[in-house]
Amino acid sequence: MNRLIFRSTQELNEAGAGIIVGLLQTNPKAVLGLATGSTPIGIYEELVKSHRRGLVSFRSATSFNLDEYVGLPPEHSQSYHYYMQQHLFSHIDLPASRANIPDGTAADLAGECERYNKLLDDAKQIDLQVLGLGHNGHIGFNEPDQSLVSGTHVVTLEAATREANARFFDKPEDVPTHALTMGVGTILKAKTILLVVRGADKADIVFRALTGPIKTEIPASLLQTHPNLVVLLDEQAGRLFS
């Protein structure tokens, strides 16, 4: 595990983007696993800047997003399809045909999970998986449980997760109750995992996830088993490590 703590948000964003840019410069056909939420926005902004400066191209790359809400159409302002268009895809040269996101409006959700798993299997391996961290230790939308699902699956979102995401919706009851998410097994198959955590409210859970017992009740604790885990923390999130 390579754990880095940054004094400023800008330094963290630049470091995260730099890792991705470096990968694409050495491997233009890299497969990227992408996350959503507030955590990676600054990193995506830096990627856009690097692309506009001609430092990096995405035209030969492929991406797979971690998750999507069930029931939100792609044009919904809180869908992850919309998020990715707003923050990254519409600003870079990644072909739309290789920007993969689960379809939360599929009539057959189990079939959609199978389709997404097939795409992931065909891609062989994600070269770099970007992750955030939920307050309850979830990664993707893999919630704490007695056991965890390996592949893409439908998950019922915990009340704490829905509460944390309610700020993005007009009313708390508008937050979807279910999501499609890449499984922990798929996440752990990535060659490199880039875990990005910000804020004092995440200090306790990231410390427990990375130093405590490995257990499915804290899904992120399984990241301790990964041979190439890079952790980027701001000072507030990383305060318990000092």
Does 173 fall in a domain?
yes
Per-residue model confidence as pLDDT tens for the chain (242 residues) = 999 999 999 999 999 999 999 999 999 999 999 999 999 999 999 999 999 999 999 999 999 999 999 999 999 999 999 999 999 999 999 999 999 999 999 999 999 999 999 999 999 999 999 999 999 999 999 999 888 889 999 999 888 888 888 888 988 888 999 999 999 999 999 999 999 999 999 999 999 999 999 999 999 999 999 999 999 999 999 999 97
Domain membership flag for residue 201 = yes
CATH code for position 211: 3.40.50.1360
Whole-prediction pTM:
0.94
Contact 177, 110 (CB under 8 A): no
Answer yes or no: is 133 within a domain.
yes
Q: Kindly give, in sequence order, each residue whose CB lies less than 8 Å from that of residue 137, ignoring residues fewer than 6 positions away.
A: 144, 205, 208, 209, 217, 218, 219, 220, 221
Q: Which whole-number Å values give the CA distances from 36 to 33, 80, 83, 84, 165, in the listed order?
A: 11, 7, 7, 7, 12
Catalytic residues: 67, 136, 138, 143
Residues 6+ away with beta carbon under 8 Å from 162: 172, 175, 176, 177
Q: Give the helix, strand, coil percentages of the chain, each rounded to 5.
A: 40, 20, 40
Element (H, E) at 67: strand 67-69
Segments forming the whole domain that contains residue 120: 2-235
26 exposure class (CB count in 10 Å sphere: 0-12, 13-18, 19+):
exposed
Is the residue at 79 inside a domain?
yes
Cα dihedral 131, 63, 187, 105 sign: positive
Instruction: Flag whether 114 is in a domain.
Output: yes
Judge whether 242 lies within some domain.
no
Any domain includes 7: yes
Alpha-carbon distance of 12 to 34, in angstroms, equals 17
9 within a domain of the structure (yes/no): yes
Q: How many domains does the chain have?
A: 1
